[in-house]
Amino acid sequence: MERRLPPEYDGWLAHETAFRRMTTPELILEVQDGPPDRRLAALSVIELAEVPQETLEDWVRTLPDTEANELAGAIPAQRQQVPCDEDLRWIDVACLGYQRRRLPTFLVMLFSSLDAMDARKCKESAAAWADVSGWLEITCDDVLAAGDHEAFEDISLFVFENYLDHDDVYEAFLAVVGKHAGVATGVSTNPSRFVAGLPPEHQVRTLKAAARAGGLPFEESWALLRQR
Protein backbone atom coordinates (compact mmCIF):
# COMPACT_ATOMS: atom_id res chain seq x y z
CA MET A 1 0.00 0.00 0.00
CA GLU A 2 1.38 3.41 -0.97
CA ARG A 3 2.00 5.80 1.88
CA ARG A 4 -0.32 8.77 2.31
CA LEU A 5 1.87 11.79 1.68
CA PRO A 6 1.28 15.52 1.22
CA PRO A 7 0.16 16.36 -2.33
CA GLU A 8 3.49 17.89 -3.32
CA TYR A 9 4.94 14.36 -3.34
CA ASP A 10 2.37 12.95 -5.76
CA GLY A 11 4.04 10.75 -8.38
CA TRP A 12 7.31 10.27 -6.52
CA LEU A 13 7.33 6.52 -7.14
CA ALA A 14 7.35 7.12 -10.90
CA HIS A 15 10.94 8.39 -10.63
CA GLU A 16 12.30 5.41 -8.69
CA THR A 17 13.32 3.15 -11.58
CA ALA A 18 15.21 5.88 -13.42
CA PHE A 19 16.84 7.14 -10.23
CA ARG A 20 18.26 3.68 -9.47
CA ARG A 21 20.46 4.14 -12.54
CA MET A 22 21.84 7.45 -11.31
CA THR A 23 25.13 7.98 -9.49
CA THR A 24 25.29 9.11 -5.88
CA PRO A 25 26.50 12.64 -6.84
CA GLU A 26 23.55 12.93 -9.23
CA LEU A 27 21.14 11.83 -6.52
CA ILE A 28 22.67 14.28 -4.07
CA LEU A 29 21.94 17.08 -6.54
CA GLU A 30 18.33 15.92 -6.80
CA VAL A 31 17.97 16.06 -3.01
CA GLN A 32 19.63 19.47 -2.90
CA ASP A 33 17.82 21.16 -5.79
CA GLY A 34 14.91 19.03 -7.03
CA PRO A 35 11.18 19.49 -6.43
CA PRO A 36 9.61 17.54 -3.53
CA ASP A 37 8.60 14.45 -5.51
CA ARG A 38 12.08 14.03 -7.00
CA ARG A 39 13.79 14.69 -3.64
CA LEU A 40 11.76 11.95 -1.97
CA ALA A 41 12.46 9.51 -4.79
CA ALA A 42 16.18 10.24 -4.62
CA LEU A 43 16.23 9.67 -0.86
CA SER A 44 14.46 6.35 -1.32
CA VAL A 45 17.26 4.91 -3.48
CA ILE A 46 20.44 6.78 -2.51
CA GLU A 47 23.35 4.91 -0.94
CA LEU A 48 23.77 6.92 2.25
CA ALA A 49 27.18 5.41 2.97
CA GLU A 50 28.48 7.36 -0.03
CA VAL A 51 27.03 10.71 1.11
CA PRO A 52 29.48 13.04 2.93
CA GLN A 53 28.78 13.45 6.64
CA GLU A 54 28.36 17.22 6.42
CA THR A 55 25.77 16.75 3.67
CA LEU A 56 23.83 14.25 5.78
CA GLU A 57 23.88 16.62 8.74
CA ASP A 58 22.64 19.47 6.57
CA TRP A 59 19.77 17.29 5.32
CA VAL A 60 18.88 16.33 8.88
CA ARG A 61 18.59 20.00 9.78
CA THR A 62 16.80 21.30 6.68
CA LEU A 63 14.71 18.68 4.89
CA PRO A 64 10.91 18.74 5.40
CA ASP A 65 9.59 16.14 7.83
CA THR A 66 8.43 13.73 5.10
CA GLU A 67 11.91 13.66 3.58
CA ALA A 68 13.69 13.55 6.94
CA ASN A 69 11.64 10.47 7.78
CA GLU A 70 12.68 8.89 4.48
CA LEU A 71 16.29 9.70 5.31
CA ALA A 72 15.99 8.04 8.71
CA GLY A 73 14.37 4.99 7.15
CA ALA A 74 17.24 4.70 4.68
CA ILE A 75 19.88 4.33 7.38
CA PRO A 76 21.37 0.94 6.51
CA ALA A 77 21.42 -0.57 9.98
CA GLN A 78 20.15 -3.96 8.91
CA ARG A 79 22.50 -4.57 5.98
CA GLN A 80 24.66 -7.56 6.75
CA GLN A 81 27.87 -6.18 5.27
CA VAL A 82 27.87 -2.82 7.06
CA PRO A 83 31.07 -2.56 9.16
CA CYS A 84 30.76 -1.65 12.81
CA ASP A 85 32.26 1.81 12.36
CA GLU A 86 29.51 2.56 9.82
CA ASP A 87 26.91 1.69 12.45
CA LEU A 88 28.54 4.26 14.73
CA ARG A 89 28.11 6.82 11.96
CA TRP A 90 24.39 6.07 11.68
CA ILE A 91 24.05 6.28 15.44
CA ASP A 92 25.53 9.78 15.35
CA VAL A 93 23.20 10.79 12.50
CA ALA A 94 20.16 9.35 14.27
CA CYS A 95 21.00 11.14 17.54
CA LEU A 96 21.46 14.42 15.68
CA GLY A 97 18.25 13.83 13.75
CA TYR A 98 16.18 13.25 16.84
CA GLN A 99 17.83 16.09 18.73
CA ARG A 100 17.09 18.54 15.91
CA ARG A 101 13.73 17.28 14.64
CA ARG A 102 12.05 15.20 17.38
CA LEU A 103 10.88 12.74 14.72
CA PRO A 104 10.39 9.28 16.25
CA THR A 105 11.69 7.63 13.07
CA PHE A 106 15.16 8.66 14.17
CA LEU A 107 14.63 6.93 17.53
CA VAL A 108 13.62 3.72 15.76
CA MET A 109 16.67 3.80 13.51
CA LEU A 110 18.97 4.70 16.41
CA PHE A 111 18.05 1.61 18.37
CA SER A 112 17.94 -0.54 15.24
CA SER A 113 21.57 0.43 14.70
CA LEU A 114 22.43 -0.56 18.27
CA ASP A 115 20.61 -3.87 17.82
CA ALA A 116 22.52 -4.45 14.59
CA MET A 117 25.82 -3.90 16.38
CA ASP A 118 24.82 -6.45 19.01
CA ALA A 119 23.79 -8.95 16.34
CA ARG A 120 27.18 -8.63 14.65
CA LYS A 121 28.98 -8.77 18.02
CA CYS A 122 30.78 -5.49 17.38
CA LYS A 123 33.45 -4.77 19.97
CA GLU A 124 32.22 -1.15 20.07
CA SER A 125 28.70 -2.20 21.01
CA ALA A 126 28.92 -1.85 24.80
CA ALA A 127 30.41 1.64 24.59
CA ALA A 128 27.80 2.66 22.02
CA TRP A 129 24.94 1.57 24.30
CA ALA A 130 26.47 3.47 27.21
CA ASP A 131 26.94 6.62 25.13
CA VAL A 132 23.42 6.52 23.71
CA SER A 133 21.93 5.91 27.15
CA GLY A 134 23.73 8.97 28.50
CA TRP A 135 22.44 10.95 25.51
CA LEU A 136 18.95 9.58 26.17
CA GLU A 137 18.91 10.82 29.77
CA ILE A 138 19.99 14.31 28.69
CA THR A 139 17.43 14.32 25.87
CA CYS A 140 14.64 13.35 28.27
CA ASP A 141 15.68 16.16 30.61
CA ASP A 142 15.60 18.60 27.69
CA VAL A 143 12.19 17.60 26.33
CA LEU A 144 10.62 17.55 29.80
CA ALA A 145 12.11 20.94 30.66
CA ALA A 146 10.60 22.26 27.43
CA GLY A 147 7.20 20.77 28.29
CA ASP A 148 7.32 18.64 25.15
CA HIS A 149 5.15 15.82 26.43
CA GLU A 150 4.57 14.42 22.94
CA ALA A 151 8.31 13.91 22.48
CA PHE A 152 8.61 12.21 25.86
CA GLU A 153 5.72 9.93 24.97
CA ASP A 154 7.57 8.98 21.78
CA ILE A 155 10.65 8.13 23.82
CA SER A 156 8.52 6.12 26.23
CA LEU A 157 6.79 4.23 23.42
CA PHE A 158 9.76 3.53 21.16
CA VAL A 159 12.54 3.18 23.76
CA PHE A 160 11.49 2.65 27.36
CA GLU A 161 8.70 0.17 26.56
CA ASN A 162 11.15 -1.96 24.56
CA TYR A 163 14.67 -1.58 25.94
CA LEU A 164 14.50 -1.48 29.73
CA ASP A 165 15.96 -4.98 29.74
CA HIS A 166 19.23 -3.32 28.69
CA ASP A 167 21.05 -2.17 31.83
CA ASP A 168 22.31 1.13 30.40
CA VAL A 169 18.87 2.14 29.16
CA TYR A 170 17.33 1.09 32.47
CA GLU A 171 19.77 3.29 34.40
CA ALA A 172 18.92 6.25 32.16
CA PHE A 173 15.22 5.60 32.75
CA LEU A 174 15.73 5.33 36.49
CA ALA A 175 17.59 8.65 36.52
CA VAL A 176 14.74 10.33 34.63
CA VAL A 177 12.13 8.90 37.00
CA GLY A 178 14.16 10.17 39.96
CA LYS A 179 14.40 13.73 38.63
CA HIS A 180 10.96 14.51 37.22
CA ALA A 181 7.86 14.47 39.40
CA GLY A 182 5.49 14.10 36.47
CA VAL A 183 7.30 11.04 35.19
CA ALA A 184 7.49 9.62 38.71
CA THR A 185 3.75 10.05 39.14
CA GLY A 186 3.02 8.38 35.81
CA VAL A 187 5.26 5.43 36.57
CA SER A 188 3.94 4.90 40.09
CA THR A 189 0.24 5.21 39.22
CA ASN A 190 0.54 2.88 36.21
CA PRO A 191 3.47 0.66 37.17
CA SER A 192 2.51 -2.14 34.81
CA ARG A 193 3.43 -0.03 31.76
CA PHE A 194 7.16 0.07 32.42
CA VAL A 195 7.86 -1.92 35.55
CA ALA A 196 5.96 -5.20 35.18
CA GLY A 197 8.53 -6.87 32.95
CA LEU A 198 11.58 -5.86 34.99
CA PRO A 199 13.47 -8.09 37.43
CA PRO A 200 12.11 -7.74 40.98
CA GLU A 201 15.09 -5.73 42.20
CA HIS A 202 14.60 -3.23 39.36
CA GLN A 203 10.90 -3.02 40.11
CA VAL A 204 11.68 -2.06 43.70
CA ARG A 205 14.38 0.44 42.71
CA THR A 206 12.11 2.12 40.17
CA LEU A 207 9.09 2.47 42.41
CA LYS A 208 11.19 3.71 45.34
CA ALA A 209 12.84 6.28 43.07
CA ALA A 210 9.39 7.36 41.87
CA ALA A 211 8.17 7.73 45.45
CA ARG A 212 11.16 9.92 46.36
CA ALA A 213 10.58 12.11 43.30
CA GLY A 214 6.94 12.86 44.09
CA GLY A 215 5.03 9.80 42.93
CA LEU A 216 2.87 7.51 45.01
CA PRO A 217 4.36 6.07 48.18
CA PHE A 218 6.22 2.86 47.46
CA GLU A 219 3.72 0.68 49.30
CA GLU A 220 0.86 1.97 47.15
CA SER A 221 2.61 1.64 43.81
CA TRP A 222 3.94 -1.80 44.77
CA ALA A 223 0.39 -2.90 45.63
CA LEU A 224 -0.84 -1.62 42.27
CA LEU A 225 1.88 -3.57 40.50
CA ARG A 226 1.03 -6.78 42.35
CA GLN A 227 -2.68 -6.35 41.58
CA ARG A 228 -2.02 -6.13 37.85
The pLDDT tens digits of the residues spanning 45-91 come to 998 889 999 999 999 999 999 999 999 888 764 456 678 888 899 99
CA atoms lying within 13 Å on the CB side of residue 22: 21
Mean pLDDT rounded to a whole number for the chain:
93
The pLDDT tens digits of the residues spanning 175-220 come to 999 999 999 999 999 999 999 999 999 999 999 999 999 999 999 9
DSSP structural state of residue 216: S
* Domain coordinates in residue numbering, the chain: 125-228
Cβ atoms of 201 and 169 within 8 Å: the answer is no
Q: Which residues contact 40 (CB under 8 A, 6 or more apart)?
A: 5, 9, 12, 66, 67, 70
What CA–CA distance (Å, rounded) separates 222 from 113? Answer: 35
The pLDDT tens digits of the residues spanning 131-184 come to 999 999 999 999 999 999 999 999 999 999 999 999 999 999 999 999 999 999
DSSP structural state of residue 20: T
Cβ atoms of 222 and 190 within 8 Å: the answer is no
pTM of the entire predicted model: 0.90
